[in-house]
Amino acid sequence: MKVKICGMHHNTTEVAALNPDYLGFIFWEPSSRYFSGKIPSMPKSIKKIGVFVNASVTSVLQHIMDHKLDGVQLHGQENVAYITLLKQALFEGKVKEILVAEKPFEIIKVFSLLDSFDFSVLKPFEDVCDYFLFDTKGKLPGGNGHTFDWSILTDYPSEKQYILSGGIGLESVDKIRNFLKSPASKYCYAIDVNSGFEDEPGLKNIKALKDFKKELSI
């Protein structure tokens, strides 16, 4: 099971020292975890993911080049045509030059769930993205701090691996363990955490993250 720590800002270097599989940097300005500045150096094993909400393809490409991102997480209403255009542009000109060959570029498409979800909307995206990410539907994209009903994923019809997100904290360990024993977790690739491990927006609680990784052996 992989772990993705999102909403990085104030103590990125300390979080990177925990060797998570992914670190997420939010490039959506209304977010209280909006990232600006330079991403500090970190182990090559950690994939840097840029989080975007309805940004133009040009803007996304510029951030990829500026920060040498290893992937993007699309948190808005980005459709199949948008992702197809982005993928085509990724392997042209200057963008292609900065992509690291040994680290395949990843595209994560987010879908927000609550008490129910029409899984048929996923089908057109299966061929254009690498992973789905499921979080809790709220007033704003992401960072709502609430958990959706994971049992909904029992009806997950795809073989595309997904990332589980939404309101996960240290108190969620037993719930995650039980979920990972259920059929609904068959294609669960990673756990995504954010606000449940913060002392304030963008400032992660290192001890809580250490304890979480130790408890789940991830």
With tokens 């670190």, the residue in question is 23
Residues contacting residue 172 through CB under 8 Å, at least 6 positions apart:
147, 196
Chain-centroid distance, C-alpha 65: 19
Whether pLDDT at 182 is above 90:
yes
What is the mean pLDDT of the segment spanning 166-189? 94
Q: What is the pTM of this model?
A: 0.93
- Residue 137 has a pLDDT of 72
- Residue 142 has a pLDDT of 56
Give yes or no for a contact between 74 and 108, defined as CB atoms under 8 angstroms apart: yes
Residue 202 to residue 198: CA distance in whole angstroms? 7
- Residue 102 has a pLDDT of 58
What is the mean pLDDT of the segment spanning 100-107? 75
Residue 34 to residue 6: CA distance in whole angstroms? 11
Residue 103 confidence class, pLDDT cut points 50, 70, 90: low
Residue-wise pLDDT tens digits, 26-80: 999 999 999 998 999 999 999 999 999 999 999 999 999 999 999 999 999 999 9
What is the mean pLDDT of the segment spanning 4-8? 96
Whether pLDDT at 114 is above 60:
yes
Closest listed residue to residue 141, CA positions, set 56, 59, 76: 76
Residue 217 confidence class, pLDDT cut points 50, 70, 90: confident
- Residue 181 has a pLDDT of 94
Number of structural domains (the chain) is 1
With tokens 């108190």, the residue in question is 171
**Segments forming the whole domain that contains residue 156:** 2-216
Closest listed residue to residue 42, CA positions, set 63, 62, 64, 23: 23
Whether pLDDT at 144 is above 90:
no
Residue-wise pLDDT tens digits, 8-33: 999 999 999 999 999 999 999 999 99
Residues contacting residue 29 through CB under 8 Å, at least 6 positions apart:
none
The whole-chain average pLDDT of the chain stands at 91
CATH number at residue 129: 3.20.20.70
- Residue 211 has a pLDDT of 96
